[in-house]
Structure 1
């Protein structure tokens, strides 16, 4: 696994926090609504691990689990024969947060994503079932579909290798980086104030993918 460099400076009220990315980025202006600014660089290890690579500590495993597995430091997800789908949520709730992780597309038509504070707003990973095209990094909002599409993803997304993603949720504003590049800044009118963070395996899909190095920090 290659080392990841995190742009530091992430200041909200009186607390500093970390954003992920493989390069230094100037986020002033773009993150004005999130009250976030950038300064120096810091190692990824300063952002706490949410997935230990050994077991499901910190996560709520669904009953009769046949979708999620931990092997060789990876979180593996695979559709069941009936393609019922499944969600894996953290066992704690978050308000404002920063989440960093790596993901790799697997077999089939990948349709996954990150639930933002409960099973509602989501940041898409993979193909949209309704639009039949990749919308990685875009927000899916129930009742609205994809109100804004992430930019530059086609040039950034690696279909056969590991990708890094960072998501910052500050109030109703979601900001997303893919492989070190800013791709989305969106303010949701339906954002929840607090809730668990989830990983989705969409139903009615025959797919597999892997996650690793999942890190989450709550922000004041």
Structure 2
């Protein structure tokens, strides 16, 4: 089911500008494929990624490919978690939770796989990220330019040298971590 996204300006009428598409059908993982361990479940409109007893990792990839888009999603976690959202390639990831290499929270920051480093650090995350509660990400990818909003506040404005022109969207359970992360309301606007 597609729904309109409304943009409203103060004192002006709301106008419809785009269609928002849910990326999950509300019942199962149709349209998504795990790359790695079978650690993903979908129930009651919530996608859960939970590490198995061997702490194997997995990225759940959309089978549909995207160019430019705005992705809205809610996520929730407690404790030590290392997750993220991959943008069109396994190389470019927006981090959720603790960086294994830096040993601190890097939520909203772009991790670039080929360099093994965070290109820049997201700002204004501390105090805005609510552990154990639902948080909202809005990630916009226009060509190589990424912006990230966390709970309505922009925390990242970054241009990637390694962005892919087209590809899937991936959600991660990091290997070697005993963790659980939940996602809901995963919607996308193309263009």
TM-score, with normalisation over the residues of structure 2?
A: 0.88
The answer as to 2:92 corresponding to 1:121 is: yes
The answer as to 2:107 corresponding to 1:136 is: yes
Matches within 5 A, 1:66-77: 67-77=39-49
Taking a change above 3 Å as real, the CA distance of residues 126 and 40 of structure 1, as seen in their structure-2 partners, is: farther
CA contact (8 A) 2:36 2:57 kept: no
Which ranges in structure 1 are unaligned for 5 or more consecutive residues? 1-5, 10-23, 26-38
Per-residue Cα deviation, 1:133-184 (whole angstroms, up to 9, x for no partner) = 1010000012051121111000100002100000000010110000001110
Deviation of 1:209 after TM superposition, in Å, equals 1.3
Q: Greater share of helix residues, 1 or 2?
A: 1
Deviation of 1:72 after TM superposition, in Å, equals 1.3
Deviation of 1:41 after TM superposition, in Å, equals 5.5
Q: Determine the C-alpha separation between the residues in 1 that align with 2:50 and 2:189.
A: 27
The answer as to 2:174 corresponding to 1:175 is: no
C-alpha root-mean-square deviation of aligned residues, in Å? 2.3
Which ranges in structure 2 are unaligned for 5 or more consecutive residues? none
Alignment partner, residue 165 of structure 1: 137
The answer as to 2:160 corresponding to 1:188 is: yes
Deviation of 1:8 after TM superposition, in Å, equals 3.0
Q: Determine the C-alpha separation between the residues in 1 that align with 2:53 and 2:64.
A: 30
Q: 1:82 aligns with which of 54, 64, 74?
A: 54
Taking a change above 3 Å as real, the CA distance of residues 180 and 40 of structure 1, as seen in their structure-2 partners, is: farther
Q: Determine the C-alpha separation between the residues in 1 that align with 2:22 and 2:96.
A: 21
Alignment partner, residue 212 of structure 1: 184
Taking a change above 3 Å as real, the CA distance of residues 181 and 129 of structure 1, as seen in their structure-2 partners, is: same
Deviation of 1:216 after TM superposition, in Å, equals 1.4
CA contact (8 A) 2:34 2:58 kept: no
Deviation of 1:217 after TM superposition, in Å, equals 2.3
Deviation of 1:40 after TM superposition, in Å, equals 7.1
State the aligned residue count. Answer: 184
CA contact (8 A) 1:53 1:212 kept: no
CA contact (8 A) 2:36 2:56 kept: no
Alignment partner, residue 54 of structure 1: 27
